[in-house]
Chains A and B, each alone.
Chain A
Amino acid sequence: MEFTGAQALVKSLEMQEVEVVFGLPGGAILPVYDPIIDSPIRHILVRHEQGAGHMAEGYAQATGRPGVAMVTSGPAATNIVTPLADAYMDSIPLVCITGQVSTSAIGTDAFQETDTTGITLGVTKHNWLVTDAADIPQVVREAFHIATTGRPGPVLIDFPKDIANSTMEWYWPDGVDLPGYHPASQPDPAAIREAAALVLAAERPVIYAGGGILKSRAAAALRELADLTGIPVVTTLMARGAFPDSHPLCLGMPGMHGNYTAVTAMQKADLLIALGSRFDDRVTGKVSAFAPRAKVIHVDIDKAEIGKVRRPEVGIHADCRLATEALVEAVKASGPVETGRLVPWIAMIRRWQAEYPCTYDRSEPANDKAATGGGGRRPTVKPQFVIETLRSLTPPDTILVSGVGQHQMWASQYWSFEYPNTWVNSGGLGTMGFAVPAAIGAKVGRPDRMVWAVDGDGCFQMTAQELATATAEGVPVKIAILNNAYLGMVRQWQHMFYEERYSEVYLSPDLPDYVGWAESMGCIGLRVENTEEVAPAIEKANEIDDRPVVIDFRTDSMEQVFPMVPAGASNDDIVVYQSQPGADRGARQ
């Protein structure tokens, strides 16, 4: 059957069982938007191309399936570079289709022409410029294969307008033809045996679980490994939810803003079992001082991660789930597991947990005008209290989405994650503005779940135009703005490391009027200024299911994120509480 290139592209997406495309049309991609009308694929019309990319990311993180975004050439393509970079850092499977000027015009500085494959070379796992309509089914099949296998990631197909308008004889390829692409799968049995021996001999072991657990669907295998061996688990920012926070062996998040026990357990460990984690600088702090006495087992599907930062005693280049399952089997094969040797280690961990819990000063701040930037009464609501209350009033499988900054760290610290794929955030790239569109994408993918975004006032202003998309498309997300009137994390660093010289961080709590903003976009807008209003507002929001809700929580702007390991310092120098004597120690170092 003869298809146009545009028809072949849409048909190929259908063959890949794509159920939704996030996008915005324009000149070069116009031919593809015609067959979209007749396709069963749902199209969600965004207000800005960055929104399309982050929605596709939120969809992918919540569902485990690839997200698809489609935009036109030139400025649309450059607008989606940020989500591509974000997805590349966090290994999120994304297929992005960009329109391109006709092949005859490429290289002539044509209207809305950019070198999209060139620009995105460094932020995609792979990309293609289609130069023949007959290649379309093959390219689409390869694109989804590459995006979703091995270490997942974003791919981009650049699609010239004349190719979309030319014709081809439809076919669907049997498979892919990629002689240079062989993602790892099964672990080396000898390496697994070595790893098992280390696991069984260790006296102070810690499982260092990363995002690879979620990508490889290894949460059940991880739980079995922990239960079998009695080894405690830290879950990185990208792995929150991969192991239930309520499990007695869960130590929570390690790293720069990790809790004392998670950070210190890694520092004192004699064995780190790194499963799908990459020794990110936010986890290790000063690398030379990180877990100095630990041997390392490092499982990763990406060979380049093994030994990139820390040379492991045992490197296992394999799928994280298959390797974890093999490790469980190897430990079982060695006979009954003796966990008595871990008793002193677990006891030490329990002491740390009791002595240094993740907590904050719940007392309400005095109304000193100096602390408000001259803005009148100082808000008294503690941001951490908002997260705790939100957690207690929402279903356990609620999907929590966040932007980047203080609110993100509080969300990760004070939310209790019980299920995989219930935490959607921008970890590696740290993209402000991620939350609103990512929450919309997550809700589109999981309409059965309650989806809450915890956002900062700075982040919210970057992408909140997508609330119009949410209302128009009937996507009832809920947004909690922790409005402290500041670029809070930057303010915190200026407080700690720049002698409280605040430079360009004050935003104002009232500009914009967040309630007015919400209402103008067809959402319900609520404002909370006192602690006692927090729970009723959340309950009210939870009852609204026919449109998005935005709550403007006026929070204490002086609140800072602790614990904190100052950038570049050793994890041994963790500062636990804001009120702790020497909490500004980082500033003097």
Chain B
Amino acid sequence: MAYGPRHRLLSVLVENKAGVLARVAGLFSRRGYNIYSLAVAPTDNERFSRISIVVDVESSPLEQVVAQLDKLINVVEIGELHPDQAREAELLLVSVSADAGQRSQVIELVGVFGGRIVDVAHDAITVMVAGAPEVIDDFEDLMRPYGIAGLQRTGRIALPKLDGRLSSMPAAPAAGIA
């Protein structure tokens, strides 16, 4: 789910307490802000979690969204990540109809995208691909003609770039998530 100009990515550090996600989601709902995608998980410090939110800023200015989020007591830190200053990734699981004749084509494409086969049946396979959201979009498009039986994306997660130290790192990691 590559985003357009009306989408902005917020990285929100929150206290890892019961109900925090409800507070964040409730704020978006009652103030009429739109969430495009959202991913949440604990950080390396178990006291905190990080929420990556892609916000639709068509309906409300980002500055207002950030100021309102900042008022939530459990929100510790909010950063906006610009696509050119962030490392972004998303994970895709997709089950594709592929009989014996088509299977090798699909496996070839999975290889090109650095994905992995995680389940195989006579007439279908399930694959996992991780990478930049735009790359995941491309892969999804390529799978569509075979027939998609099930699909789940995680929504994007991101961290700021490390000040040029890894500036040569490819935008789309070659390897999937091992």
Q: Residues of A with Cβ closer than 8 Å to B?
A: 117-118, 121-122, 125-126, 129, 131, 146, 178-181, 302-304, 306-308
Q: How far is the CA of A306 from the CA of B67 in the complex (A)?
A: 9
A180 contacts B15, CB within 8 Å?
Answer: yes
Q: How far is the CA of A365 from the CA of B64 in the complex (A)?
A: 51
Residues from chain A with a CB closer than 8 A to the CB of B67 are 303-304, 306
Subset of 10 A-B contacts with CB under 8 Å: A117-B19, A121-B23, A125-B73, A180-B14, A180-B75, A181-B73, A302-B71, A304-B64, A304-B68, A304-B70
Residue A122 contacts which of B18, B30, B63, B76 (CB distance < 8 angstroms)?
A: B30
Q: How many whole Å from A510's CB to the nearest CB in chain B? A: 42
Given known pairs A122-B26, A180-B14, the reply for A146 and B64 (CB within 8 Å) is no
B71 contacts A304, CB within 8 Å?
Answer: yes
Q: How far is the CA of A470 from the CA of B106 in the complex (A)?
A: 79
Q: How far is the CA of A146 from the CA of B68 in the complex (A)?
A: 16
Residues from chain A with a CB closer than 8 A to the CB of B18 are 129, 131
Residue B63 contacts which of A118, A178, A302, A307 (CB distance < 8 angstroms)?
A: A307
Q: How far is the CA of A126 from the CA of B18 in the complex (A)?
A: 13
- Further contacts, 6 of them, CB under 8 A, given A180-B72, A302-B71, A306-B67: A122-B26, A129-B18, A179-B15, A180-B76, A181-B73, A304-B67
Residues from chain A with a CB closer than 8 A to the CB of B72 are 180
A307 contacts B71, CB within 8 Å?
Answer: no
Residue A303 contacts which of B70, B74, B77 (CB distance < 8 angstroms)?
A: B70
B15 contacts A121, CB within 8 Å?
Answer: no
Residues from chain A with a CB closer than 8 A to the CB of B77 are 180
Q: How far is the CA of A180 from the CA of B15 in the complex (A)?
A: 8
Q: How many whole Å from A143's CB to the nearest CB in chain B? A: 10
Residues from chain B with a CB closer than 8 A to the CB of A307 are 63-64
B22 contacts A121, CB within 8 Å?
Answer: yes
Q: How far is the CA of A178 from the CA of B47 in the complex (A)?
A: 12
Residue B64 contacts which of A121, A131, A179, A308 (CB distance < 8 angstroms)?
A: A308
Residues from chain A with a CB closer than 8 A to the CB of B76 are 179-180
A-B contact count (CB 8 A): 39
Q: Digitize B40-77: 1 where CB-to-A-CB distance is under 8 Å, 0 elsewhere.
A: 00000000000000000000000110011011111111
In the complex, the 9 A-B pairs of residues with the closest C-beta atoms, listed nearest first: A304-B67, A180-B76, A126-B73, A303-B67, A122-B30, A304-B68, A121-B26, A180-B75, A179-B76
Q: How far is the CA of A129 from the CA of B18 in the complex (A)?
A: 9
Q: How far is the CA of A282 from the CA of B41 in the complex (A)?
A: 42
Q: Which residue of A is nearest B75, CB measured?
A: A180
Residues from chain A with a CB closer than 8 A to the CB of B23 are 121
Q: Residues of B with Cβ closer than 8 Å to A?
A: 14-15, 18-19, 22-23, 26, 30, 63-64, 67-68, 70-77
Residues from chain A with a CB closer than 8 A to the CB of B26 are 121-122
Q: Which residue of B is nearest A125, CB measured?
A: B73
Residues from chain A with a CB closer than 8 A to the CB of B70 are 303-304
Q: How far is the CA of A180 from the CA of B76 in the complex (A)?
A: 4
Q: How far is the CA of A303 from the CA of B15 in the complex (A)?
A: 21
Q: How far is the CA of A118 from the CA of B14 in the complex (A)?
A: 18
A180 contacts B74, CB within 8 Å?
Answer: yes
Q: How many whole Å from A182's CB to the nearest CB in chain B? A: 9
Q: How many whole Å from B25's CB to the nearest CB in chain A? A: 10
Residues from chain B with a CB closer than 8 A to the CB of A302 are 71
Q: How far is the CA of A306 from the CA of B74 in the complex (A)?
A: 22
Q: How far is the CA of A178 from the CA of B14 in the complex (A)?
A: 11
Given known pairs A304-B68, A308-B64, the reply for A180 and B73 (CB within 8 Å) is yes
Q: How far is the CA of A126 from the CA of B20 in the complex (A)?
A: 11
Q: How many whole Å from B68's CB to the nearest CB in chain A? A: 5
Q: Which residue of B is nearest A155, CB measured?
A: B73
Q: How many whole Å from A168's CB to the nearest CB in chain B? A: 20
Residues from chain B with a CB closer than 8 A to the CB of A178 are 73
Counting chain B CB atoms within 10 Å of each CB, the highest count among A117, A146, A303, A304 belongs to A304
Q: How many whole Å from B63's CB to the nearest CB in chain A? A: 7
Residues from chain A with a CB closer than 8 A to the CB of B14 are 180
Residues from chain A with a CB closer than 8 A to the CB of B22 are 118, 121
Q: How many whole Å from B55's CB to the nearest CB in chain A? A: 15
Q: How many whole Å from A331's CB to the nearest CB in chain B? A: 28
Q: How many whole Å from B48's CB to the nearest CB in chain A? A: 8
Q: How far is the CA of A115 from the CA of B49 in the complex (A)?
A: 24
Residues from chain A with a CB closer than 8 A to the CB of B75 are 180
Q: How far is the CA of A160 from the CA of B19 in the complex (A)?
A: 17
Q: How many whole Å from A1's CB to the nearest CB in chain B? A: 28
Q: How far is the CA of A121 from the CA of B77 in the complex (A)?
A: 20
Residues from chain B with a CB closer than 8 A to the CB of A129 are 18-19
Q: How far is the CA of A211 from the CA of B173 in the complex (A)?
A: 54
Q: How many whole Å from A135's CB to the nearest CB in chain B? A: 11
Q: How far is the CA of A493 from the CA of B109 in the complex (A)?
A: 68
Residues from chain B with a CB closer than 8 A to the CB of A181 are 73
Q: Which residue of A is nearest B67, CB measured?
A: A304
Q: Which residue of A is nearest B20, CB measured?
A: A180
Residues from chain A with a CB closer than 8 A to the CB of B73 are 125-126, 146, 178, 180-181
Counting chain A CB atoms within 10 Å of each CB, the highest count among B18, B22, B71 belongs to B71
Q: How many whole Å from B121's CB to the nearest CB in chain A? A: 38
Residues from chain B with a CB closer than 8 A to the CB of A125 are 71, 73
Q: Which residue of B is nearest A118, CB measured?
A: B22
Q: How many whole Å from B18's CB to the nearest CB in chain A? A: 7
Q: How far is the CA of A434 from the CA of B71 in the complex (A)?
A: 27
Q: How far is the CA of A300 from the CA of B30 in the complex (A)?
A: 22
Q: How far is the CA of A303 from the CA of B78 in the complex (A)?
A: 14
Q: How far is the CA of A303 from the CA of B65 in the complex (A)?
A: 11
Counting chain B CB atoms within 10 Å of each CB, the highest count among A122, A146, A179, A181 belongs to A179
Q: Which residue of A is nearest B25, CB measured?
A: A121
Q: How far is the CA of A203 from the CA of B73 in the complex (A)?
A: 42
Residues from chain A with a CB closer than 8 A to the CB of B15 are 179-180
